[in-house]
A and B are shown apart, each in its own frame.
Chain A
Amino acid sequence: NAGVTQTPKFQVLKTGQSMTLQCAQDMNHNSMYWYRQDPGMGLRLIYYSASEGTTDKGEVPNGYNVSRLNKREFSLRLESAAPSQTSVYFCASRNRAEAFFGQGTRLTVV
């Protein structure tokens, strides 16, 4: 049982480049989430999806887009990366009570 899988684990981008962070869960959960965590800070919600076909903004959505491709997959896209988006990105999925997190993607924008 893989749980929540994020790819890639590490990425370095140049300012202005675009990329998509991938997230997949194999637990048949309806809700999925994307967070960012800056050094020494707590998790901040970027976007979430309560069910397949729906997405909503979280606390810090600017500069990001998401796609809930199907029930398993929830991707996060940076269209034009900025140094301020250097962070660790976590994906999560949630059943009725418990949220399960991936191991994170460390993104550096130079």
Chain B
Amino acid sequence: DAKTTQPPSMDCAEGRAANLPCNHSTISGNEYVYWYRQIHSQGPQYIIHGLKNNETNEMASLIITEDRKSSTLILPHATLRDTAVYYCIVKIYNQGGKLIFGQGTELSVKP
């Protein structure tokens, strides 16, 4: 699985969009980008995944660059409850094997 790089921390004002970047320059053609988040002390929660097209669901949007070497998770209107650690993972879809979480980005949403 390709390695990912995320900033260790970010701040965002409540009500504004939170844009969380992830670099995955060694991603291969059949690897998907997955995002999870972990709110304090809870188990991580799946947010969204994508291959090359931009994706949107009720929680967030995922923008993947055309060369697929980086992506951005967008929380369009961040709330205080979005304060969490966000993890970007690259993995082949429908493949078993290791699921490795890096250090993630600690997002603090401030009033």
Contact = CB atoms under 8 A, between A and B. Distances in A.
Q: Interface size bucket, A side?
A: 20 to 34
B84 to A, nearest CB: 13
B49 interface: yes
Interface residues of B, number: 24
A92 B46 contact: no
Given A97-B93, A99-B36, A43 B98 contact: no
Interface string B18-48: 0000000000000010101010011111100
Given A50-B96, A97-B49, A97-B93, A90 B43 contact: yes
Interface of A: 4, 30-31, 33, 35, 42-45, 48, 50-51, 56, 58-59, 88, 90, 92, 94, 96-104
Interface of B: 32, 34, 36, 38, 41-46, 49, 85, 87, 93-94, 96-104
